[in-house]
Amino acid sequence: MNKYLMTFNQLWLIGASCLLVLNTAYAEVLKDPTQPPAAFYNQAHSTDGGGSFDGPVLQSVILGANHHAAIINGEKVMLGKKYDGATLIRINEREAVLRNPDNTLKVLTMGYAIQKKILPANGQASFAKKGSHPK
């Protein structure tokens, strides 16, 4: 009986090991759901008119009270810092300007519109009733 118990324990251990190996071998690589599609990284306009794109792509701008930065091809570049050898010299809501080492400028614009909603200075939204105050 002890002989069969030892065999059962060995088989159980081998089976469990196989399941663990198979589970990790077939694990799916998950993509970041917040990551833009691959084509978004390559939206700089090409000269051939086809579907191929080249160059850096401005994805977003950050205009904070203490710092200004641009997201270029997924990389955060602070104002005055370098991206791929070029220096980020100017940023506004829609574009970023890079100065290349040969002093030529490359203006990157966002390919989509951003809508800004400006709230009143007192902080009350337009949907608040007259006479009511936020608590």
Q: In what order do the strands lie in the sheet with 68-72?
A: 58-63, 68-72, 75-78
Asked if residue 60 belongs to a domain, the reply is yes
* Sequential DSSP letters for 1-20: -HHHHHHHHHHHHHHHHHHH
| DSSP, res 30 | P
Inside any domain, residue 14? no
What average pLDDT does this structure show over 46-51?
A: 45
Written as six digits, the tokens of 125 are: 């939204």
Q: Given a cut of 90, is residue 9 above it in pLDDT?
A: no
Expressed as residue numbers, the domain containing 83 is 38-109
Q: Which two tokens stand for residue 60?
A: 């977003």
Give the C-alpha separation, 13 to 3, whole Å: 16
For residue 5, being part of any structural domain is answered with no
pLDDT digits (tens, 9 = 90+) for 19-48: 777 665 565 677 777 776 666 555 444 444
- pTM reported for the whole predicted model: 0.49
Can you give the CATH number for the domain in which 84 is found?
2.30.30.830
Whether 70 maps to a domain, the answer reads yes
At residue 25, the pLDDT reads 53
Residue 71 lies inside a defined structural domain of this protein: yes
In a domain, 15, yes or no: no
The CA distances from residue 42 to 71, 111, 118, 119, in Å, are 13, 11, 32, 35
Q: Is residue 10 part of a domain?
A: no
Rounded Cα distance, 60 and 10, in Å: 58
Say if 133 falls within a structural domain.
no
Per-residue tokens: 53: 């794109």
Domains of the chain: total: 1
The separation between CA 101 and the C-alpha centre of its own chain, rounded to angstroms, equals 27
Q: Give the burial string for 29-40 (b: 16+ CB within 10 Å, else e).
A: eeeeeeeeeeee
